[in-house]
Amino acid sequence: MARALIVGGGIAGDTLALFLGRDGWEVTVAEIAPAPRTGGQTVDLRGDCREVLRQAGLLEQALGCLIPQRGAAWIATDERRLAEMPVEAFDGQGLVSREELLRTDLARIIHEAAGPGVTHRFGDTVDALRDQGSRVLARFRGGASEEFDLVVGADGAHSRVRALRFGPEENYRRPLGLAHAWFTLTESPGTPRLDDWFLLYNAPGRRAMAARPGHPGQQEVGLTFAADTLPPRHDREAQFALLERTFADAGWRAEEFLAAARKAPDFALDTYDQVHMPSWSVGRVVLLGDSAWCASPLSGLGTALALRGAAELAAALRSAGVHSDPTDPSAALTAFETTMRPRAASAQQLPPGRVAMVAPHSTLGIRINAWAMRAIQAKALRPLMARAFAATEHGRRPAETEGMRPEVTN
């Protein structure tokens, strides 16, 4: 039986594990977190997400976890509306859709669907990968070594597999000049309610805050600011201190959000980066998802691409019969890259002004932003914008983001 090692049990890794397990592979998923990772904002079920979940037989389950949404609103510090885009805008094809679920729920649904051929090693990763021609020898952090016919690096934008087999992150990372913190806020009796609206607030100095509906009694919060580098990931205190310095005088609910960040079990902070690689495979090692092509949360397509990429890689391996004869997976890996590269490249092409729009420098920029959000919904421009929203491949929204809203929409 062909054996695959998938490093990283996120959306890309667990989706691939699901498909390969069904195709008869013996699959090991090494996930560095001690348990399936929760957290993240919403995932839009339009476009590729929907198609791949349907193919996996998981669409109904995903549709059962939708978050109630009324739309997005750009607000002033006193919550006065500067602009709104309800879910009905552009015939339901606008920025926020009625069909969104939390990344946490999507990850759980995919993870729980893994069949008996899939084994997860939580709290583990690879320390070394040696390509021996006919197989790859992987040494796990725990000390054990095992041989695999295929190794997939689905370990995100800061991929260890990429570092081990393709070289250091700085060779491939393109920072976009922004950083983003996200976490879940648990409501208390005094917490301002969202009434199912996704609220976006900008403060001068390239600072943005957003809160959107989460599970009942929870809000998903995002804080975005200008930065190319951050304190080390293990130095939580330095990360909180940076956020506090940046947002202390930002207005709206800054004080409350900064306090909630410290208490959140799923707090995360990262830069908005893209990953650009000349090739996604070397020998029997292939990259998938953010590790290969991260388009950044600003694309609004990270999860859609992760799902689509997993489906395409599984399909390429299946049609080349690698599960029954793993002697040479190279044709399948080339076919996968040929199919996926144009999609990834298209997602990486952010519309002009996209980065500036998320976090404008000045009060004037903030006003222009709100005006633009109103203007694109004006009657005269509606047909044009509806075409632009609908034409964006894979359900891509021109106006907003994943991390800010659209992630994951990844």
Ligand X SMILES: Cc1cc2nc3c(=O)[nH]c(=O)nc-3n(C[C@H](O)[C@H](O)[C@H](O)COP(=O)(O)OP(=O)(O)OC[C@H]3O[C@@H](n4cnc5c(N)ncnc54)[C@H](O)[C@@H]3O)c2cc1C
Least Å distance between CB 387 and ligand X?
A: 26
Torsion angle of C-alpha atoms 16, 283, 331, 135, degrees rounded to 10: -70
Q: Is 33 in the site for ligand X (CB under 6 A)?
A: yes
CB 10 within 8 A of CB 158: no
Which residues inside 36-65 make contact with ligand X, applying CB under 6 A?
A: 37, 39-41
Is the CB of 156 or the CB of 360 nearer to ligand X? 156
- Footprint (CB under 6 A) of ligand X, residues 90-129: 103, 125
Contact 348, 276 (CB under 8 A): yes
Among 18, 73, 83, 154, binds ligand X (CB under 6 A): 154
Distance in Å, CB of 121 to ligand X, minimum: 9
Pairing mode, strands 42-44 and 100-102: antiparallel
Give me the least distance between CB of 369 and ligand X, in Å please: 20
- Among 303, 348, 369, 392, the residue binding ligand X under the rule CB under 6 A is 303
C-alpha span between 321 and 207 (Å, rounded)? 51
Give, as ranges, the residues between 197 and 226 that touch ligand X (CB under 6 A).
none
How far is 286 from 320, CA to CA, in rounded Å? 16
Q: φ and ψ at 221, to 5 degrees?
A: -110, 140
User: Contact region for ligand X (CB under 6 A) — 30-38, 67-75, 253-261, 326-334?
Assistant: 30-38
Q: Which of 10, 94, 329, 360 binds ligand X (CB under 6 A)?
A: 10
Q: How many residues does the chain have?
A: 410
Site map (CB under 6 A) of ligand X, residues 181-200, x = contact: -x------------------
281 makes contact with ligand X (CB under 6 A):
no
Does residue number 302 form part of the binding site for ligand X (CB under 6 A)? yes
Contacts of ligand X in 237-276 (CB under 6 A): 268
Whether 56 and 112 have beta carbons less than 8 Å apart is answered as no
Give the span between the Cα atoms of 16 and 357, in whole angstroms.
34
Q: Provide the 8-state DSSP code for 298.
A: G
Structural contact between residues 80 and 385, judged by C-beta atoms closer than 8 angstroms: no
Cα 230 to Cα 239: distance, rounded to the nearest angstrom: 7
Give contact residues for ligand X (rule: CB under 6 A).
7-13, 30-33, 37, 39-41, 103, 125, 154-156, 160, 182, 268, 289-290, 297, 302-303, 306, 402-403, 407-408, 410
